[in-house]
Amino acid sequence: MLNCKKTIELLYPYLDRELSAQELEEIQEHLDMCPPCARHFALESGMLRIVSKACKSVQAPAALRARVMSTCMKAAEPPRSQ
C-alpha cells in the first residue's frame, strides 16, 4: 500500500503515463481511500489537461499564447515540499 508521500511523488509520472499497470493500480487504490490525495491528483490532472491543450493551439493570438506559455513554465516547476 502506498503512503501519501509516495503517491504524490508518483503524481507526475502518473500524469505522464510513465507507470506500470501495477503502480497505476496502487495509486488508484490509495486515491480511492484518501480524499486529500485524490483531490490533489484531480487538480493537477485537470490543470495539465488545460495547459497541454492550450500549449498545442498554435493558432492562439500572441497575448493568449504569452499567457499560456507563462502558465506552462509554472506547470513545469517541481512541486514545492511543505
The footprint of Zn ion (CB under 5 A) covers: 4, 34, 37
CB atoms within 10 A of CB 15: 16
Minimum Å gap between C-beta 45 and Zn ion is 15
Least spacing, CB of residue 76 vs Zn ion, in Å: 24
The radius of gyration of the chain's CA atoms, rounded to the nearest angstrom, is 15
| Alpha carbon distances (Å) from 56 to 7, 30, 60 | 28, 32, 9
Nearer to Zn ion by Cβ, of 40 and 65: the residue is 40
Name the 3-class secondary structure at 6: helix
In the complex, the smallest distance separating the C-beta of residue 37 from Zn ion, rounded to whole angstroms, is 3
Nearest residue (CB) to Zn ion, 6 versus 53: 6
Name the residue nearer to Zn ion (CB basis): 4 or 72.
4
